[in-house]
């Protein structure tokens, strides 16, 4: 038996915000002071590092649970299953449902329960719960679903990664240009086919204050007296952490599956920062004394931005169904899912299509 993805789906937000839309912003540093350079220079440097040209936001009437439901519906249809046969619905997110006119996080009830209700599933044995694990949430939820199935506790699981980071950005913070919205979903099932999840690895680093690298903090505008909180990041520390730890975690996962690095078809890594992702994968190949293949790394951050837990399942769905940017997958291909984010958490899955 194997544990395979039998269906996938994603929701692509309709509001597109290009880099030039930030030209009129008043960017401040973490001390509340204006930068010495103009916004055009800030945006050009941002683009050269992250690779982001535009990002997608959800429209004002939608919440995270809505787009999670849309992605889930597509995955269920793709797998051609009766949703009443689902044993688990696991939703990975970080900020719950935040309405378009509020900064208040809403996680009661869980997003998974809301998705189950939107799907009109009546079966009480379909268990719905959320996972908070930073950007690696969808990968970790897949690992949990795999464990349930492997232990005989489930046969079918719906795994969703969804976030609306546009609702938690500080407009005075230049890092706000990174974040985006989106949702991706997969159905993981026990099947008689070969392949599926071959190995997985998860790590959490906190001993050197890594837990504070990505956090929820105050606006950089000292005049903001509302005490609203926003997503914040120590960018340089995150970058160095990722380069120092993620390649080895990916190698550990691949080696555990006893797969030769030359047999990897694609690497689906969290779309956080184009320059950082490319550097991670180059270092991963150096651990094998190899050079990174040019066709190994699909990227959609240029037009989607960083949608946190949604980046990996969204990109996987686009490549699987649309041959996104010339990348394609065929039965038997071996791929690697990998992610890094708040916690600081790292995880990876070796998977055979």
State pLDDT tens for residues 319-329: 999 999 999 99
Cα–Cα distances in angstroms (integers) from residue 308 to residues 14, 153, 192, 272, 304, in the given order: 17, 29, 33, 8, 11
State pLDDT tens for residues 233-292: 999 999 999 999 999 999 999 999 999 999 999 999 999 999 999 999 999 999 999 999
Q: Where in the chain is the domain with CATH 3.40.47.10?
A: 2-193, 197-352
Nearest Cα to Cα of residue 230 among 212, 245, 211, 215 = 215
Other residues' Cβ atoms within 10 Å of the Cβ of residue 122: 9
State pLDDT tens for residues 200-240: 999 999 999 999 999 998 888 877 657 788 899 999 999 99
State pLDDT tens for residues 30-82: 888 899 999 999 999 999 999 999 999 999 999 999 999 999 999 999 999 99
Q: How far apart are the first and last CA of the chain?
A: 14
Other residues' Cβ atoms within 10 Å of the Cβ of residue 259: 17
Say which CATH superfamily domain 197-352 falls into. Answer: Thiolase/Chalcone synthase (3.40.47.10)
Calculate helix-pair angle for 235-256, 274-286, nearest 10 degrees: 40
Q: Which CATH class is domain 2-193?
A: alpha beta
């Amino acid at each position: 038996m194997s544990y395979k993805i039998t269906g996938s789906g994603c929701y692509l937000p309709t509001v597109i915000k290009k880099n030039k839309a930030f030209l009129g912003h008043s960017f401040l540093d973490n001390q509340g002071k204006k930068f010495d350079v103009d916004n055009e220079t800030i945006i050009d440097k941002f683009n050269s590092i992250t690779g982001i040209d535009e990002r997608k936001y959800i429209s004002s009437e939608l919440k995270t649970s809505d787009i999670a439901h849309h992605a889930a519906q597509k995955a269920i249809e793709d797998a051609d299953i009766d949703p009443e046969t689902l044993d688990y619905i696991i939703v990975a997110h970080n900020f719950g449902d935040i309405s378009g006119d509020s900064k208040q996080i809403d996680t009661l009830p869980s997003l998974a329960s809301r998705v189950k209700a939107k799907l009109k599933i009546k079966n009480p044995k379909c268990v719905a719960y959320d996972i908070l694990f930073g950007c690696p949430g969808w990968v970790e939820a897949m690992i949990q679903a795999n464990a349930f199935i492997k232990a005989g506790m489930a046969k079918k699981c719906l795994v969703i990664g969804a976030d609306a980071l546009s609702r938690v950005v500080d407009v005075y913070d230049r890092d706000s240009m990174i974040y985006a919205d989106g949702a991706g979903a997969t159905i993981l099932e026990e099947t008689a086919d070969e392949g599926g999840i071959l190995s997985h690895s998860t790590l959490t680093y906190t001993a050197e204050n890594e837990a504070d690298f990505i956090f929820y903090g105050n606006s950089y505008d000292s005049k903001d007296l509302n005490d609203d909180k926003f997503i914040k990041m120590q960018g340089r520390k995150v970058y160095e952490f990722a380069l120092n730890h993620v390649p080895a975690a990916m190698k550990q996962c691949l080696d555990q599956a006893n797969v030769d690095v030359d047999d990897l078809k694609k690497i689906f890594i969290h779309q956080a920062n184009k320059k950082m992702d490319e550097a991670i994968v180059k270092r991963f190949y150096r651990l094998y004394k190899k050079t990174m293949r040019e066709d190994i790394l699909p990227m959609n951050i240029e037009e989607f931005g960083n949608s946190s837990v949604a980046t990996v399942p969204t990109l996987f769905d686009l490549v699987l169904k649309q041959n996104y940017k010339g990348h394609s997958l065929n039965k038997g291909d071996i791929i690697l899912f990998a992610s890094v984010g708040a916690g600081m958490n790292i995880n990876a899955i070796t998977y055979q299509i």
